[in-house]
Structure 1
Amino acid sequence: MKSAKKTKISWWQTDCVKCKRIRALIIWAILSCIIYLWFLG
């Protein structure tokens, strides 16, 4: 899909290494928060 206008999730679909690291950190942060709250509750 080639789109002229940039969407808000365009950074999410980029393949740069820095973006992949940030994406992984965000996913791990969300997962750890969910697990923490799950065991806490």
Structure 2
Amino acid sequence: PGKQKRKFSSFFKSLVIELDKELYGPDNHLVEWHRMPTTQETDG
């Protein structure tokens, strides 16, 4: 049997994305994602 491919999200425990403060404002420029035990793996 071939090696099973890992889903993209399986490579991360958490992500923090910083967006442009001038476009999104000082209070809405961060996007945070944290893996939970119930999180389904995804490729998108």
With the shorter chain as reference, the TM-score category is under 0.3
Q: Higher relative contact order at CA 8 Å, sep ≥6: structure 1 or structure 2?
A: 2
Give the TM-score normalised by structure 1: 0.26
Normalised by the length of structure 2, the TM-score is: 0.25
More strand by share: 2
